Amino acid sequence: MIPISWYLVLSLVLFALGAFGFIARRNVIIMLMCIEIMLNAVNISLVALGRGLEDTAAHLLVFFVIAVAAGEAAIGLALVVLLFKKTREVHMDEFRLLKG
């Protein structure tokens, strides 16, 4: 059996990739994808820990995370569509009305 620590390392690498992508990329769609990668990275370690500790609480949390991520994606994409309709643009750098 694959040891839990491998899953934890995998999840941490994925999380770091997501966080890096979120900071480095300015395309809103890519940023949304990076957030999903981060959430799923957490899900991997939750599932692995739940199996290792033989406890169901972690598996429960995974389902909640998936449900919340769906809600988040709905709101995020709605905002992207509204922004795109107005400006024909999906790059965060182009939205500079608010500053100071």
Q: Minimum distance from CB of 52 to other proteins (Å)?
A: 8
Largest Cα span, the chain:
55
Q: If you search the block for the tokens 């395309």, which residue do you land on? A: 27
Q: What residues contact 36, with CB distance under 8 A and at least 6 apart?
A: 18, 69, 73
For residue 91, give the 3-state DSSP assignment.
strand
Looking only at residues 63 through 82 of this chain, which bind other proteins when binding is defined by CB under 8 A?
64-65, 68, 71-72, 75-76, 79-80, 82
Residue count of the chain: 100
For residue 25, give the 3-state DSSP assignment.
coil
88 binds other proteins (CB under 8 A): no
Looking only at residues 18 through 47 of this chain, which bind other proteins when binding is defined by CB under 8 A?
18-19, 22, 28, 31-32, 35, 38-39, 41-42, 45-46
Closest Cα partner for 2 from 48, 47, 43, 57?
48
Residues that bind other proteins (CB under 8 A): 8, 15, 18-19, 22, 28, 31-32, 35, 38-39, 41-42, 45-46, 49, 53, 55, 57-58, 60-61, 64-65, 68, 71-72, 75-76, 79-80, 82-83, 86-87, 92, 95, 97-100
